[in-house]
A and B are shown apart, each in its own frame.
Chain A
Amino acid sequence: MLTCDDYVVPENLLDALMAWSGAPEGSRLLAGATDTLPWARQGRAGDVAGDVHVPTIIDVSRVTGLDGYDFPNAGRIRLGANVVFQQFLEDPELREHLPHMSSCAMWFADDQIRRQATVAGNIVNASPAADGVAPLVALNATVELARQENGTIERRSVPLISFIEGPGRTQMAPGEILTSISCDSAKGYGGSFEKVGHRRSLVISVVCATCCVKPSTDGMTFEDVRLALGGVGPTPMRLDDVETFLRGQPISAAVIAEAATMPVDRVASRTRRTYRREVVCGFTERAIRGALASINVEIPDHLGTGQGAADV
């Protein structure tokens, strides 16, 4: 169980940063609390005295300016740190710009937890099973961090794919708070997200795959593809090589099947878990097909040469 001496709820970013940089050693930032509270109980089963004591908890969920989203740059969307996963399901505009996040949200925990769990919390916790990260990595996400220096707010921006260094480890510096996440808008794209687990709800991910896809106007070729995998290694994997291969190719069963074989070796080199290597191929194929199906793009079965079936 988590215990603390003080629980502070700053109302603006500067107060939050001042409290954070001045907090005693061992203090923690808290957003939705959906990772922190369970964490404080883990592995302490037989040991009731094993409560986790933290001097100060700084709850950033009421800091103004950290919820909501906007579009400060063309083609990009910026999500406030405190956007919760339920919003990706319920907000039509978010569904439009981030078509794979609604599927991600559908698979994320359950309704109750989605209303509390924040995007920033999911990123900063950096669990290898963090579902929210792979979809953002696929869209060239960057995270914006703030800190205070002598009472002024300083900011910096880091690509999400480098921000996460390993399980539970990020590039967040002491005194920093993650304030927003920016990524490409996938408006007009189809999106998909799937994960493997041992049941159909409250699933902790073993492997996940996500895809955004934009077909050409005539629906025959891949104009743009974004692909990422989660859970296949210590950090999420952006499948840039597969994306490059697909761009410009005809949309066909054979092309998709070929693309799906590409991540296998890369995954094999990063994980010793046979199971993850086994599923990657079929999963990648499914992610691409799912994204196309979500915008009702048919996948013809002929070979990827562009020639007709009669040539086979």
Chain B
Amino acid sequence: MSDITVELTVNGRPVKRLAKPYWRLLDFLREELHLTGTKEGCGAGECGTCSVFVDGALMKACLLPVAKADGADIQTVEGLAGPNAMTVMQQAFHKTGASQCGYCIPGMVMAATAALRDNPDADHDEIKERIGGNICRCTGYQKIVEAVELARDVINQKVPTTALDEDADMERFIGGNVRRIDAPGKVSGALRYAGDMTMPNMVHMQVLRSPHPHARIVSLDVADAAGLPGVEGVITSADVPGVDGFGVFVHDQPVMARDKVRYVGEAVAAVAAVDLETAKKAIRLIKVVYEELPAVFDPEEALEASAPVVHDEVPSNLVKHIPISKGDVAKGFADSDLIIENTYQTQQVEHAYLEPEAGLAYVDADGVVTVHSPSQNISHHRHMLSDILALPINKVRMIMSPVGGGFGGKEDMIYQGMLALMTIKTGLPVRLVYTREESIVTTAKRHPARITYKMGLTKDGRILATEIKAVCDGGAYGMSTEGVMRKMAILGPGPYDIPNVKIDTYGAYTNNTPSGAFRTFGAMQSQFTTESHLDLCAERLGLDPFELRILNAMRPGSTTHTQQRLDRASYLEVLEATRNGAGWEAGPSNIRGANRGDLNGLGNRKPCTLGSRLHEDLHRTNGMSKRGRGMAGSWYGIARTAAMDRAGAWVELDDGGTAKVVTGVTEIGEGILTVLAQVAADELGIRPEDITIGDNDTARSPEAAHAGATRQTYMIANAVAMACRDAREKFDKEIAAYWGVEPDQIEASGGQIWAQQTNQRMSMAEAVHICKTVRGFVPVGSGNYTAHHTGLDPVDGSGKPWQAYVFGCQIAEVEVDTVTGEVQVLGIWAAHDVGRAVNPRGVEGQIEGAVVQGLGQALMEDYITVDGHSSTDSFAKYILPTALDVPHITSIIVEDPDPLSPLGAKGIGEPALVPTVPAIMNAIYDAIGVRITSLPATPEKILAALRQKQQSEAEGIAAE
């Protein structure tokens, strides 16, 4: 192999290096020059995270062999602004809340910069076209486009540069649109994620994976691999010293396959070597002999007695059955005037966070096994690792590296065990970085569900009985299946006061890619069916879909399906807010599309007309399209399900009137760091920029548990508030003593502290100094917040799974192309009761991102396996929404403060994703009269359904 010489300019500096002949410019920038702002989100040109300027033209560095850059002038994100500076564009991204997890952001900043360089007057549609090659999974693009428009207007001097600054005059920070405190590191590309981290003598790990869905491992010979020069270590299940089994609920998963493999892509062995090429060569030298076993791929088949057994300890293949029953459904149906039954099917969905899994592990000088990884649940992962490694728990340290998107996919532990084992074996730091394909095919997905639904109503529309049965594919390992089944069941029948319910959810083992935690944790599958079903019922009864919801809505005093009495329920308020916010025209759920008068109003975007920069309208459906509107309601429980939840925090008032806040906070892009800074600022009497939040590290921060269940604002912000109050109580006592006043006279705000009814006043900086030097007291506080949930009865599911619920409603307006079956979602109006919006812009950003994930799952996303083998193993085949696919989203924040939450706040991350899919499906029905009951609603399915409808109408007419 002949290395090549490349000579080029990078960010203004001349560079001359040797490079491997097959390196891409991306490899050269990251590995040779350590410019890690340019990312490898997919390696196949499908995501845009690798965008760089080559001689002034924006290109994808993952598709550029490095020789092509010879002689070129390269600009990366690091070169946009000088050191410690931000361009107008970067400042605009900071201002509008365009940055969430940050992983797509450097590439997005580059694409946005290119857009305005090419056309400084680019309008809204042209901006979307020019960032059409960059995928974001967190934001829903709305605030990114706003950022580009703001930057354009500042650069063109239509708007002053002060528009980029923090909102002025915020007396209280809670409730204000404080800019994200972690955005500057993200928009500049400076923040390093796990795959960007390096350590001296680090070795690179690669994993050998099973090619079979179900097979016995007859023999596994790693001798040749271990003997290859450059290889530092090889591990298999034989290397596990402790308990080789982990999982969130049931510890059924080995670190690497033991005795048999249960799904295609399961880890079998791993190699660490001095470089990736050697590691891959060594992988090829591992000899495995498999004996293929009969496999099962359908969950209903898996539950039959004759099915192949996936785990010997569970011959039934049933991971978990959650039953919930209240009243007597048989009687309810007998009393009903109308009974409607239907079957629905949801698909396996891929999380598609832009950061593929990665991790770096080492054993530190004190013998502590340390793993840096973007884990959503370091506390739980540490527990499991300590059992796996047979080490005391404080000899295992999990540090959360910045998370480039999670959505539940980084909640189940997947690869951290291998990293820990390898670093112990080799005595060297070890890094593993997944390829995108590896991430898609081998890590957990959303549970697909087959749901049979039966609802009985009176002719006036009162629901008397709901019966739901869901059979879900849990895949090869249990992971979060039990919890998903539980949440799917508890929330399934929706926010409705129903006297008789019977819900049964079943999670089954199969030899498919495992299903695990994914935003909404089962609630969106079951509520998709409920809200679609209610639309069916509304049509049959001739009722407006809102009226049907209102008639049956949970109200304060209602009893839930688990027989919990709700003291508060804001569903009616949320329904009204959405209906009014969208100007919904009342009417039954027939095909009203052509006749309704509330279409094409404010709050919609135009149908996508590619060609904006050509000044051409390329989208000409010529009357061959139909529009419609649909709605759906939702509810969601906050924090851990049916179990006590807890979070702890420490706070120290620090020099200069600043503060340290330390808690196990898991920022995955949802904005919790900023929320904590706002809360601490208000509680302590200082400003968000004075707050430093400590890292999420099992050895350094108190447990606040995981990012999941929409729990962090509720649990952790409250814990931080408690800790701040504790610190202030102690601090105020000292300052009061110093001033000779009563502690309850002490007030602080915005960095100033004073005693009421006196003229005593000083800065917080001075006060901290006095507290420490004069009073000899270091002002530290601690706090805890507990959510008192109970488990569910194993027979009828009764219990109090949550103390706070978020009610929601969304309306969708769609346009269906009747020639092609393509659907465009033009507008979404989303109302959610968040209790109290700590950062309204942050709440909007979460709603927008959730809506777009919903759109993807409604129309285009489908993780497909055939006999256990994935056919959608790249972003070319697994289709994600781009900036051009998203509707205009109007967020309507409703606030019904939770009385048990000291801050009043509840949450938004998952609730916002629940009603989107059924709202879109109901809108499609309104437009063209076809009801898609199996997701996604692709153009093929819609066209086939349309043709079938036309045919049966024609036959119906012919029969007359």
Binding site for B on A (CB under 8 A): 1-7, 9, 30, 32-34, 37-38, 41-49, 51, 57, 59, 61, 89, 102-103, 106-107, 109-113, 115-116, 192, 194, 196-202, 204, 206, 274-275, 278-279, 282-283, 285-286, 289-290, 293-294
Contact = CB atoms under 8 A, between A and B. Distances in A.
Interface string B76-117: 000000000000000000000000000000000001001000
Given A6-B2, A282-B624, A282-B820, A49 B46 contact: no
Given A109-B133, A196-B820, A275 B441 contact: no
Nearest to B624: A282
Contact of A37 (B2, B24, B616, B880): B24
A197 B821 CA distance: 10
Contacts of B198: none
Given A46-B441, A111-B114, A200 B22 contact: no
23 contacts: A1-B435, A6-B1, A9-B70, A33-B65, A41-B43, A41-B437, A45-B437, A45-B441, A46-B437, A48-B435, A48-B438, A57-B65, A103-B618, A107-B610, A110-B132, A110-B134, A116-B63, A116-B64, A200-B884, A202-B133, A202-B882, A279-B821, A286-B819
Given A48-B435, A201-B132, A286 B620 contact: yes
Given A111-B114, A279-B820, A38 B45 contact: yes
A309 B277 CA distance: 74
B614 A106 contact: yes
B59 A112 contact: yes
A9 B45 contact: no
Given A38-B63, A46-B211, A116-B64, 7 more contacts: A1-B43, A6-B1, A43-B873, A103-B611, A103-B618, A111-B132, A286-B620
B121 to A, nearest CB: 16
B857 interface: no
B188 interface: no
Contacts of A106: 129, 610-611, 614, 618
B876 interface: yes
A199 B2 contact: no
A48 B21 contact: no
B939 interface: yes
A89 B45 contact: no
A259 B435 CA distance: 49
Contacts of A293: 617, 620
A194 to B, nearest CB: 7
Contacts of B923: none
A41 B574 CA distance: 47
A5 B133 contact: no
Contacts of B265: 45-46
B947 A33 contact: no
B622 A289 contact: yes
Contacts of A89: 613-614
Interface of B: 1-2, 4, 21-22, 24, 43-46, 48, 51, 57-60, 62-65, 67-68, 70, 111, 114, 129-130, 132-134, 206-211, 264-265, 277, 280, 283-284, 435, 437-438, 440-442, 608, 610-611, 613-614, 616-618, 620-622, 624, 818-822, 824, 859-860, 870, 873-874, 876, 879-885, 938-940, 943-944, 947
B286 to A, nearest CB: 9
A134 B387 CA distance: 61
A99 B60 CA distance: 27
A230 to B, nearest CB: 15
A202 B46 contact: yes
A116 B1 contact: no
Contacts of A37: 24, 43-45, 62-63, 65
B620 A5 contact: no
A289 B819 CA distance: 14
B888 to A, nearest CB: 15
A275 B944 contact: yes
A294 B438 CA distance: 45
Contacts of A2: 22
Kindly list the 3 A-B residue pairs having the minimum CB-CB distance in the complex, ordered from nearest.
A110-B133, A282-B819, A201-B132
Contact of A46 (B63, B67, B264, B820): B264
Contacts of B860: 198-199
A73 to B, nearest CB: 28
A32 B59 CA distance: 11
Contacts of A112: 45, 48, 51, 58-60, 111, 133
B223 to A, nearest CB: 17
B63 to A, nearest CB: 5
A3 B22 contact: yes
A294 B876 CA distance: 31
Nearest to A59: B67
A7 to B, nearest CB: 4
A96 to B, nearest CB: 13
Nearest to A95: B614
Contact of B209 (A30, A47, A113, A198): A47
A279 B819 contact: yes
Contacts of A3: 22, 277
A286 B618 CA distance: 11
A196 B127 CA distance: 22
Contact of A115 (B57, B62, B277): B57
A56 to B, nearest CB: 9
Contacts of A45: 265, 435, 437-438, 440-442, 870, 873-874
Contacts of A204: 876
A89 to B, nearest CB: 7
A274 to B, nearest CB: 7
A9 B24 CA distance: 15
Most chain B CB inside 10 Å of its own CB: which residue of A46, A49, A103, A285: A46
A201 B1 contact: no
Nearest to B264: A46
Contacts of B133: 109-113, 201-202
Given A5-B2, A59-B65, A283 B206 contact: no
A5 B65 contact: no
B939 A198 contact: yes
B48 A110 contact: yes
Contacts of B819: 279, 282-283, 286
B869 to A, nearest CB: 9
B6 to A, nearest CB: 11
B441 A200 contact: no
Q: Which of B44, B65, B824 has the most CB of A within 10 A?
A: B65
Contacts of B67: 7, 9, 59
A103 B619 CA distance: 11
A278 B48 CA distance: 34
Contact of A41 (B280, B874, B940): B874
A200 B280 contact: no
A198 B608 CA distance: 13
Contacts of A199: 860, 879-882, 884-885
A201 B68 contact: no
Contact of B284 (A4, A30, A49, A206): A49
Contacts of A103: 611, 614, 616, 618
Nearest to A1: B43
A48 B211 CA distance: 12
Contacts of B616: 103, 294
